[in-house]
Amino acid sequence: MDKAFITGGSRGIGSEIAKQLVYKGIKNLILGYNNSYTEAKKVADYCMEHGATVNLCQINLANIEDAQLKLKEAITQMGGIDILVNNAGITQDSLALRMNHDRWDSVLDINLKAAFFLSKTALKPMIKQRNGRIINISSIIAQKSRGGQVNYAASKGGLEAMTRALAVEVASRGITVNAIAPGWIDTEMTQDQDNQKQGQGGLESTIPVGRIGQVSDVAHLAAFLSSAEASYITGQIIAVDGGLSVRI
């Protein structure tokens, strides 16, 4: 397991997953990013300082045919692929009665459609080598809905269902497919939501362990699921949420 491709690798959870994979011995890494070249370059430089060969790939997940082509080129460049992390995602929040086609389609296209078709592209070499790891980054919103995020909830719920179905299809080929469902993690998106809840004690007041999660909490799990030690774990949706999803 030494060749990995990560979408949304320029910041937040994606950048920390890249670092954790390198800490665990990944030697060949390609970071997918959309517009954040400067941030992606910083992540790449950090990973290279820690012994990995890292390349950047500007990839527009809204254009799925081009995105698949970019991934194919990356696989050729690395000489194969062992790990695909479908991390990139967007929100386009709106109350259901105000939800338009563009907001619905853009979120479903990037969060769900792109994850499937990139997985399909990665599966061909993985099946040939009879080994591989696909990790999808979902969200607690797939199970714990909030107003104004019907499109996002649908995309992440679909991603989790896809994870289970795909895992069954490819398990006999030595490939595992799992999803991580983060709760409140300290990212730019969560900081905005935390500010909205400050009058109610903030997001921390809703979390049983009493703190907002760090990107490293998610990344450590992603690194484990990418390893040989996780070869008997597949089709699982694992929450990293401080107990939020099981709170009554």
**Residues taking part in catalysis:** 152
CA angle 118/5/232 to nearest 5° reads 85
Please report the beta strands in 122-236, taking only residues with DSSP state E, as ranges in sequence order: 132-137, 175-182
Distance CA 157, CA 187 (A): 21
Distance CA 210, CA 213 (A): 9
* Tokens, residue 48: 């290279």
CA angle 5/176/172 to nearest 5° reads 130
CA distances 76 to 69, 71, 122, Å, are: 11, 9, 11
The residue type at 124: K
Please report the beta strands in the chain, taking only residues with DSSP state E, as ranges in sequence order: 3-6, 28-33, 53-58, 83-86, 132-137, 175-182, 237-240
How is 196-226 classified by DSSP, letter by letter?
Answer: HTGGGT-GGGG-TTSS-B-HHHHHHHHHHHT
Distance CA 131, CA 82 (A): 7
